[in-house]
Amino acid sequence: MPDSNQSELLKKKDENLLSGLFASSNDTVLAKTSAKGVRLASLDFYRGLIMVLLMLESTGLYEHLLRMSTPGSFLHSLSIQFTHYPWHGLHFWDLIQPGFMFIAGVAMAFSLYKQTANGVTWNKQFSKALKRSGWLFFWGVLDYAVRGDHLSFELWDVLTQLSFTLLVAFLIFRWKTGYQLLFSIGLLILTEILYRYTNVPGFDQPFTDQHNFGNYIDVILMNKINPGGWVAINCIPTAAHTIWGAVAGKWLLTLPGNKSKLTRIFTLAAITLILGFGLDWAGITPIIKRIATTSFTLASGGLCLLGLGFLFWWIDLLNHKKFLKFFLIVGMNSIFIYVFFEIVVSRWLGDYLGVIVHGVISPIGVSQNFINIAASLVIFAVEWGLCYWLYRKKIFFKL
């Protein structure tokens, strides 16, 4: 057992670790409070909401609703928002991946504050972050590894992208907020330079599908180009989403008043929104999700910040917390359920359950559209039920 002097030295070391992260002693006190298990209901809801939307997409529900809708109808206008914009433009569904990466940054801030307050050294935190990124990369590659009857190596999965953005956000987490934000802007400037000025023959059209710098890098990395226009180096600009999430997490944990927290978040949201949509409207850089242009990254990041600020105000400050558990149950095992529906449901269970539902309902004489929607809801219920079972058993998969 350590003597009193050794205990005092260990305590002092923890204090120094905390002080290295925060600007003042008040911030250190707030960080210690967070280490005692304080949670933001809005953060849990935000993460759970994103995962529920992704789960519903995995069942094919949005596709079925779009197919059965009439062009020009309200249902069609609503359903099309749950598809990615073909190229230049923005749909609601284009915000899901930025939200996924943004909320990972917020959650990382809470985790690192807690670890530091509990005396975990930076080296151990780095080792954990490196291991997490390695596992995310592995599951992201595995998700796309099977194409029909052959293996494939692809780097377009959101988990693969997140493995990079989380590591970058971690490495600069102890920097002052201003430097973090400048670094994120530097990533966007780098993206502009790479797309505009590399001038590789055949890949020298910065905002043209199949002929841009991102496509060129994919040929080098994977010897292929994604037919949908997605590129692997999206991870460079979208690292800004995770960095901004980490910055917002710091503000939520350390700023002394709720008004100051909301002011910072909404101010950053306003700046990024104006810059993002301004670049697009001025014809400088178009908003294109598939190659994560700077205008897209700024605009979508601003909307993510706006969403976090609103949810913090509505849920945590005004205490509107009814029905949160439905989403919390999913958010507690977000990575697990993502891998589950991406690999198990999409490649086997979805079709299996679809056949069962069709066989049970079709004798009633209902339409195929009704059967498809019913099958999607059954698949979703199974996915959510699995999350609920894990929640009840207190089984939480973390990387």
Domain boundaries of the chain, sorted by first residue:
17-392
**298 is written with which tokens?**
């700024």
Rounded Cα gap, residues 132 and 111, in angstroms: 13
Q: Bridge partners of 203?
A: 200
What's the pLDDT at 101?
A: 95
* Residue of 189, 272, 224, 276 whose CA lies nearest to 214: 224
213, 195 contact by CB (below 8 A): yes
What's the pLDDT at 11?
A: 44
Rounded Cα gap, residues 211 and 87, in angstroms: 13
What's the pLDDT at 142?
A: 87
Phi/psi for 156 (5° steps) reads -100, -5
Where the chain has pLDDT below 50, the residues are: 1-4, 6-30, 33-35
What's the pLDDT at 24?
A: 42
Phi/psi for 264 (5° steps) reads -60, -50
162, 50 contact by CB (below 8 A): no
Q: Above pLDDT 70, what percent of the chain?
A: 90
What's the pLDDT at 144?
A: 83
* Residue of 291, 21, 242 whose CA lies nearest to 132: 242
What's the pLDDT at 37?
A: 54
3-state SS record for the chain: CCCHHHHHHHHHHHHHHHHHHCCCHHHHHHHHHHHCCCCCHHHHHHHHHHHHHHHHHHCCHHHHHHHHCCCCCHHHHHHHCCCCCCCECCCHHHHHHHHHHHHHHHHHHHHHHHHHHCCCCHHHHHHHHHHHHHHHHHHHHHHCCEECCEECCCCCCHHHHHHHHHHHHHHCCCCCHHHHHHHHHHHHHHHHHHHHHCCECCECCCCCCCCCHHHHHHHHHHCCCCCCCCCHHHHHHHHHHHHHHHHHHHHHHHCCCHHHHHHHHHHHHHHHHHHHHHHHHCCCCCCEHHHCCHHHHHHHHHHHHHHHHHHHHHHHHCCCCCCCHHHHHHHCCHHHHHHHHHHHHHHHHHHHHHHHHHHHHHHHCCCHHHHHHHHHHHHHHHHHHHHHHHHHCCCCCCC
For residue 217, how far is the Cα from the chain centroid?
A: 23
Rounded Cα gap, residues 148 and 167, in angstroms: 32
The residue behind tokens 């949509």 is 277
Q: How many CA atoms lie within 13 A of 272 on its CB side?
A: 26
What's the pLDDT at 133?
A: 94
Q: What is the pTM of this model?
A: 0.88
What's the pLDDT at 18?
A: 45
For residue 80, the tally of other CB atoms under 10 A from its CB is 17
What's the pLDDT at 332?
A: 87
